[in-house]
Amino acid sequence: MTERSVCVAVIGGGPAGLMAAEVLARSGVAVTVYERMPAPGRKLLMAGRGGLNLTHAEPLPQFLARYGDRHDRLAPLIKAFPPEALVAWCHSLGQETFVGTSRRVFPVAMKASPLLRAWLRRLEVSGVRLAVRHNWEGWDSSGALRFTTPDGLVAVRPAATILALGGASWPRLGSDAAWVRHLSGVAPFRPANCGFRVAWSAHLRERFAGQPLKRIALQFGEQRVSGEAVITAGGLEGGAVYALSSVLRDAIAAEGAATLHIDLRPDLPQPELARRIGAAGRGQSLSNILRRAAGLQPPAIALVQEALHAGAARNDLAALIKALPVRLDAPMPLDRAISSAGGLRWEAVDQHLMLRDHPGVFAAGEMLDWEAPTGGYLLQACFSTGVAAAEGALAWLGCRAAGPSGVAESR
């Protein structure tokens, strides 16, 4: 076994780990990033396929509320490195941003690869060493970090360690949560920002799988979300579904199933919709009434017919169109989820994100127990906790944090 010394080890080459490495390096600390995949930033690149939604431009109080019951723990970390700081950091890498109509913030390039390339160049110039194909295997009996590599076992003895090992979604990109066996105080992982299984009829599944439901509204309990969804062979997915996924997931866990209501014409009040349907000429087929009078597209028509075949009353089509029930049987599995809930419990770390039972070891990113909807909230918390963990490590080492683009001072 080869043994090496390093000042700070950052384990995980995603956004949280790379941001922690940058803060450390800019503060004059020698850093090595250990990544189990052949290259860092795999999940960031995947996120960039949809435009790389970095953060959100809504006011900070509303922004912080998106983190639900983890608001109190994440709020001070995000306030210390807020959305405007993340945007400024992106600009410092030569990647200009813009705010979309939904107030989401994107790089002008609308992809992650230019940002990641510029970032890795900056880290290299700053002296950050990158060690790929290093799979963390916990600690050995002497307290050294253990890694399996293509060349055998490697032991590392850093002055401090930052764990940024990710959650449990998209395991093929590197975050498979294998690290949980090495740590205590871990809440079970659950899918977040996920789709749900629906027992569609064979006709609907075969004819309409992959078809979008546009300009709809979804309601569960008191929560209502406008947007789009997609019918899949196994159920229902899409942005509007993801926005409700945490409450739907928890309801299914408690009750065994959940009924989601879809408003197929949120732009049209129910009385007006009923008037139009009532004015339809006699002798028209149901499909023609739904298409011409109600203005529904074929996938929406198929959902109405599916509900009628399942026993929904036909005497009030307007009410059915405005609140079409869909039974959700289960969330899609973790490996199909955009993100995950669960992870290292907040009680297991202090206010500087240091593990209580491992002094000098800090945690950041999705391996912590929090979740958030899509819209920039996921990446923002990863970056912010990466900064916080690095600053915690610097305090542990007796250094003063410089931030992502400053100069450190010794204490």
Q: What is the CATH number of the domain that holds 131?
A: 3.50.50.60
Residue 8 shares a structural domain with residue 93: yes
Which residues are registered as beta bridge partners of 153? 148
Q: What is the DSSP string of 82-151?
A: -HHHHHHHHHHTT--EEE-TTSEEEETT-SSHHHHHHHHHHHHHTT-EEEES-EEEEE-TTS-EEEEETT
The predicted pLDDT at position 265 comes to 98
Tally the residues of the chain: 411
Residue 23 shares a structural domain with residue 88: yes
Which residues are registered as beta bridge partners of 98? 106
User: Which one-letter DSSP state was computed for residue 332?
Assistant: P
Residue 178 shares a structural domain with residue 274: no
Residue 179 shares a structural domain with residue 209: no
Task: Name the residue among 404, 405, 379 with its Cα closest to residue 390.
Answer: 404
Write down which residue in 303, 331, 359 finishes a domain: 331
CB 161 within 8 A of CB 362: yes
CB 339 within 8 A of CB 193: yes
CB 69 within 8 A of CB 75: no
Residue 211 shares a structural domain with residue 145: no
Residue 158 shares a structural domain with residue 230: no
Burial-class residue 228 by CB neighbours within 10 Å (0-12, 13-18, 19+): middle
H or E stretch at 397? helix 377-397
Write down which residue in 331, 348, 371 finishes a domain: 331
Residue 90 shares a structural domain with residue 115: yes
Residue 324 shares a structural domain with residue 292: yes
Residue 280 shares a structural domain with residue 347: no
Q: Give the total number of structural domains in the chain.
A: 2
H or E stretch at 248? helix 245-255
Indicate the angle between helix axes 377-397 and 15-26, nearest 10 degrees: 40
Integer Cα distance of 144 and 134 in angstroms: 14
Write down which residue in 331, 350, 375 finishes a domain: 331
What domain range is 236 assigned to?
196-331
Confidence (pTM): 0.91
Task: Name the residue among 34, 37, 33, 38 with its Cα closest to residue 23.
Answer: 33
Residue 355 shares a structural domain with residue 305: no
∠ at Cα 55 (50, 58), nearest 5°?
A: 120
Reading the block at residue 160, the tokens are: 């401090």
The predicted pLDDT at position 408 comes to 37
Residue 186 shares a structural domain with residue 200: no
Residue 394 shares a structural domain with residue 375: yes
Cβ partners under 8 Å of residue 101, min gap 6: none
Which residues are registered as beta bridge partners of 275? none
Per-residue tens of pLDDT for the chain, all 411 residues: 665 567 999 999 999 999 999 999 999 999 999 999 999 999 899 887 878 999 999 999 999 999 999 999 999 999 999 999 999 999 999 999 999 999 999 999 999 999 999 999 999 999 999 999 999 999 999 999 999 999 999 999 999 999 999 999 988 888 889 999 999 999 999 999 999 999 999 999 999 999 999 999 999 999 999 999 999 999 999 999 999 999 999 999 999 999 999 999 999 999 999 999 998 877 788 999 999 999 999 999 999 999 999 888 888 999 999 999 999 999 999 988 999 999 999 999 999 999 999 999 999 999 999 999 999 999 999 999 999 999 999 999 997 556 564 433 333
Integer Cα distance of 76 and 212 in angstroms: 39
What are phi and psi for residue 202, nearest 5 degrees? -60, -40
